[in-house]
Amino acid sequence: MARRTAWCAARAARRELGSRRSSCARARSPARGSPAGRSFVDGTPAPSGLDLGHRPTGYGPLSAITDRGPPVHWPDPVTLYADLFRYGDLFLNLFRRELRVKYRGSVLGLLWTLINPIVLMLGYWLLFSILLRAVSIKHYPLFVLSGLITWIFFQSALQMSCTSLLGHASLVKQVRFPRQLLPLSVVATNLVTMGVMLAIVLPLNLIIVPESRTTFWAALPLIVPLVALVTALAILLASATVMFRDVEHLVTTALLPWFVLTPIFYTFDILPGIKTHPTIAHVLYYGNPVAPFVEAIRDPLFFGEWPHLGDVVYTVGVAAGALALASLVFRRVDDQLAAQL
C-alpha cells in the first residue's frame, strides 16, 4: 500500500510540472496573428496597438515584415547599398509599383520617354542650327539626343526622388524596413527610361554616324558611375526633403539653369568666350558633376572618339565620393525620418 501511494504521488507531481510548463509556454507565446506576437525586421517588438498585417493599398507583399526576419542594423557604407540585394523582393515590389504609377492613366505610356527628348531636340535644332546658325555640328539633332540621354535620366531621377519618402510617409512610419529602397526604386524606374532612349538613339547613331561604330561600346561602362552618382544624390535629396521641405522647390528651381550650363546642345570649345575666360570654363565644366558625364558618354556614342581619361577619372571619383557622402548622411538621419514625417 505504501509503495502504491508513493507511485501515485510521483505521478501527480509529474502532471503538475507538465501543467506548469504548458502555462509558461502559453504565457511566453502570444496567439498567432496578434500584434504582440509580431515584430519589426530589426527584432523590436511591435506595439500592442499596431497591426503589422495591414498593408497600404497598391503594394505587393512586403517581405521586410516577417515574424522571424533577420536583424537590420544601422546602415554603414556597405550595407546601405547591400540592402538592395538583401531585400531584393521588396525592392522589386517598390520598383514595379513606381513604374506603374508613373504611366498610370497614360495612353502613350513609355512613348512619353521619347516624346520629351524629341520635342526638346526639335526646339534646339530649330533655334541654334536653323535660325541663329550658332552651331555647325553635323547631324545636330543626334548630337542633342546623345546628350539628352544623360541629362533626362539625371533630372527626372532627382526630381522624383525628392518626394520618394514623403510620398510613402504612412509606410515609413508604420513599418521598419530599409528606407533607402524608396529613392533607389525611383532611380531604377528612370533607368528604364534611359534604356529606352538609348535603345533608339544608339542604332540611329550607328547608321547615320559611321564613326561611332568602333567606339560606341565605350559609353556603356560609363553608365555605371552615372547611376552611382544619381543614386547617391537621390538618397541625399530624399532625406533632405524630409528634414527641410524647401529642398524640393530648391531643386526644381536649380535644374533649369543647371540644364543651360550643361553642354547638351553645345560644346564648350565652340563658345566664343572660352578662350578669354579659361578659368570660368573649367569651373563650369568640373564644378558641374553632370558635364563630364555628358561629354564622356557622347564622345564615343556620337563623335566616334574615345572618352578623355580625365573625364573618366573624374566621373568615377565623383561617383565614389557621392556614395560615401550619402551613406554618411543617411546613417545620421535615418532614425529621425519617421518622426519628421
pLDDT of residue 303: 95
Cβ neighbours of 123 (radius 10 Å) = 12
36, 48 contact by CB (below 8 A): yes
For 79, residues 6+ apart whose C-beta sits below 8 A from its C-beta are 73, 86
Residue 321 grid cell: 565620393
Model's pTM, two decimal places? 0.76
243-169-95-293 Cα dihedral, nearest 10 degrees: -10
Angle between helices 112-124 and 181-208 (to 10 degrees): 60
The Cα–Cα gap between 141 and 270 comes to 17
Q: Name the amino acid, one letter, at 214.
A: T
The Cα–Cα gap between 330 and 275 comes to 42
337, 165 contact by CB (below 8 A): yes
pLDDT of residue 261: 93
- The closest of 17, 51, 100, 44 to 335, measured between CA atoms, is 44
Judged by phi (left if over 0) then psi (alpha if -120 to 50, else beta), residue 73 lies in beta
The Cα–Cα gap between 55 and 89 comes to 16
Phi, psi of 30 (to 5 degrees): -65, 165
pLDDT of residue 294: 97
Burial of 331 (0-12, 13-18, 19+ CB in 10 A): middle
The Cα–Cα gap between 292 and 290 comes to 6
Burial of 262 (0-12, 13-18, 19+ CB in 10 A): buried
Cβ neighbours of 275 (radius 10 Å) = 9
The Cα–Cα gap between 310 and 294 comes to 13
189, 119 contact by CB (below 8 A): no
Residue position matching grid coordinates 508613373: 102
Q: Sketch the domain layout of the chain as residue ranges.
A: 79-340
Q: Name the amino acid, one letter, at 103.
A: Y
For residue 226, the surrounding DSSP H or E stretch is helix 223-243
The Cα–Cα gap between 202 and 124 comes to 20
149, 118 contact by CB (below 8 A): no
- Kindly tell me the sign of the dihedral angle through the C-alpha atoms of 259, 262, 267, 271: positive
The residues pairing with 279 across neighbouring beta strands, listed in sequence order, are none
Cβ neighbours of 87 (radius 10 Å) = 22
The Cα–Cα gap between 291 and 147 comes to 10
**Helices and strands per DSSP (H, E), number in the chain:** 13, 0
Burial of 323 (0-12, 13-18, 19+ CB in 10 A): buried
- pLDDT tens by residue, the chain, 341 residues: 444 444 454 555 455 445 444 444 444 444 444 444 444 444 444 433 333 334 333 334 444 443 334 444 444 667 788 888 889 899 999 999 988 887 776 767 777 778 888 888 888 888 887 877 778 889 999 999 999 999 999 999 999 999 999 988 888 888 888 889 999 999 999 999 999 999 999 999 999 999 999 999 999 999 999 999 999 999 999 999 999 989 999 999 999 999 999 999 999 888 888 888 888 888 999 999 999 999 999 999 999 999 999 999 999 999 999 999 999 999 888 888 877 76
